[in-house]
């Protein structure tokens, strides 16, 4: 019978997962090398931003269902939820997964279940995780049970989707998958589907690769429309009226630990067989330069640019792989005067000074919107008009509503107007 769960990695997935199991009634110990995160958690506080998570953690810590430490303990179930970043050549860095697996070895006991939730390249369970456990003398699949159960949640809705989403459970064998499914059934109301570990690995990667390729198509459309003088956003809106078409939205690029990273895990294993995935990555990676190209059209080199948003998506605090960060770096290289505002990002997350809304727009020549936070969808137009030197908004997320005709507004639907206006000035 499962009574105690040890979660290794208390980041954007591990901490909500630990809290959800604690809410269900399990004794949960969370493990992380970040001592600040551990100390905060033991005070009932959190070090990341996620809707509802702060209240849940406070509750389960107060009830002594969840606590944190810097090293694993004996448990019935071990859940590994550590990062899997890319090396500079885009191959997967599995050191965190290997280290986490090795860290639980002294605490494994017969009939324990090991679940890897980290997103990993195909065959990582078979080729890396299982051999590490077997090297300790365990018969994996009979004495120690191993599964891959990838997370499938959307930041901002994690606590909801952990419960409601379909869950894919990939076992090293059927009994491993069944044991893991029984654990998740304690709170998951969505369908739980059993499969092999390698199929689960690939299914998670393809979910995010599908979205990356779709966004690349939208971004390529934005570039084509810019050249041909077409409203790309209207094209997408009309095309999506077809019952079997679902084009995504263009933007400044693709970020986060999923879409911007996972396709490379497939490319790494089969580069010759994945030209479409490779080209989609190239298109999405080119978008920060596309943004800069149009910023250069809007302002001159002495301009002040108010950058709005650093996270890779709206209403979260996650700047991992964010294209907004790439845009900022490119603007800095061109020596623009920048004032950067993001109400969801803390100063210690970035290596440059953050500003308030008023500081950012003061004497600015352009507001460059790179993230679709709710705070940006309705801006104070009176302040923009009175404080900015040139009231211009370039909205790369197509999310801002501007009513004043005194504020010039560009998004991916009217870039052709920018080009026509510039041509008229020549």
Question: In 10 A of CB 192, how many CB atoms?
Answer: 17
Q: Which tokens in the block code for residue 232?
A: 């790309």
- SS3 state of residue 304: strand
Q: Which residues of 413-422 are buried (b: 16+ CB within 10 A; e: fewer)?
A: bbbbebeeee
Contact yes or no for 29/68 (Cβ under 8 A): yes
Under 8 Å between Cβ of 96 and 84: yes
SS3 409: strand
Strands 4-8 and 77-80, by their bridges, are: parallel
Q: Please give the positions annotated as active site.
A: 204, 258
**Six-digit token pair at 164?**
């409601």
Six-digit token string for 362? 């003061």
State phi, psi for 328 to the nearest 5 degrees. Answer: -60, -45
- What is the Cα 368 distance to its own chain's centre? 21
The DSSP annotation for 177-246 comes to HHHHHHHHTTT--S-EEEEEHHHHHHHHHHHHHHHHHHHHHHHHHHHHHHHHT--HHHHHHHHTTSTT--
Between the alpha carbon of residue 336 and those of residues 189, 327, 330, the distances in Å are 51, 12, 9
If one counts every other C-beta atom within 10 angstroms of the C-beta of residue 89, the result is: 7
Alpha-carbon dihedral 131, 109, 202, 215, rounded to 10 degrees: -120
Residue with tokens 């090398």: 33
Which DSSP letter does residue 354 get?
Answer: B
Take residue 62 and report the two structure tokens written for it: 């107060």
Residue 107 tokens read as 């605490």
Q: Are 294 and 394 in contact (CB under 8 A)?
A: yes
Spatial separation of the C-alpha atoms in residues 13 and 117, rounded to whole Å: 8
């Amino acid at each position: 019978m499962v009574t105690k769960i040890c979660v290794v990695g208390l980041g954007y997935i591990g901490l909500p997962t630990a809290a959800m199991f604690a809410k269900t009634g399990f004794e949960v110990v969370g493990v992380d090398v970040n001592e600040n995160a551990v100390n905060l958690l033991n005070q009932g506080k959190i070090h990341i931003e996620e809707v509802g998570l702060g209240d849940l953690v406070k509750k389960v810590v107060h009830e002594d269902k969840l606590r944190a430490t810097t090293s694993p303990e004996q448990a019935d179930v071990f859940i590994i939820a550590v990062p899997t970043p890319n090396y500079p050549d885009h191959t997967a860095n599995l050191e965190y997964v290997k280290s986490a697996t090795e860290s639980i070895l002294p605490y494994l006991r017969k009939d324990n279940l090991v679940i890897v939730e980290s997103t990993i390249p195909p065959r990582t369970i078979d080729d890396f995780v299982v051999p590490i456990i077997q090297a300790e003398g365990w018969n994996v699949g009979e004495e120690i049970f191993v599964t891959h159960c990838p997370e499938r949640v959307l930041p901002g809705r994690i606590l909801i989707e952990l419960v409601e989403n379909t869950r894919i459970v990939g076992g090293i064998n059927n009994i491993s998958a069944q044991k893991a499914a029984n654990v998740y059934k304690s709170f998951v109301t969505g369908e739980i589907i059993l499969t092999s570990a390698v199929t689960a690995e690939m299914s998670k990667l393809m979910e995010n690769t599908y979205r990356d390729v779709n966004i690349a198509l939208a971004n390529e459309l934005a570039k084509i429309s810019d050249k041909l003088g077409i409203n790309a956003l209207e094209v997408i809106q009309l095309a999506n009226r077809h019952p079997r078409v679902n084009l995504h939205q263009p933007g400044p690029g693709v970020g986060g630990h999923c879409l911007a990273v996972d396709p490379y895990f497939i490319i790494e294993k089969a580069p010759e067989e994945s030209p479409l995935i490779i080209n989609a990555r190239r298109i999405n990676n080119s978008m920060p330069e596309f943004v800069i190209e149009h910023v250069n059209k809007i302002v001159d080199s002495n301009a002040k640019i108010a950058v709005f948003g650093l996270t890779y998506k709206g209403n979260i605090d996650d700047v991992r792989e964010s294209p907004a960060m790439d845009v900022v770096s490119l603007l800095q290289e061109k020596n623009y005067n920048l004032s950067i505002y993001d109400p969801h990002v803390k100063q210690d997350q970035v290596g440059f000074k953050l500003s308030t809304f008023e500081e950012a727009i003061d004497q600015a020549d352009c507001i460059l919107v790179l993230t679709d936070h709710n705070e940006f969808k309705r801006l104070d137009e009176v302040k923009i008009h009175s404080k900015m030197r040139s009231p211009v908004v370039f909205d790369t997320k197509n999310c801002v509503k501007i009513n004043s005709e005194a504020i010039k507004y560009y998004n991916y639907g009217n870039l052709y107007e920018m080009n026509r206006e510039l041509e008229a000035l020549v």
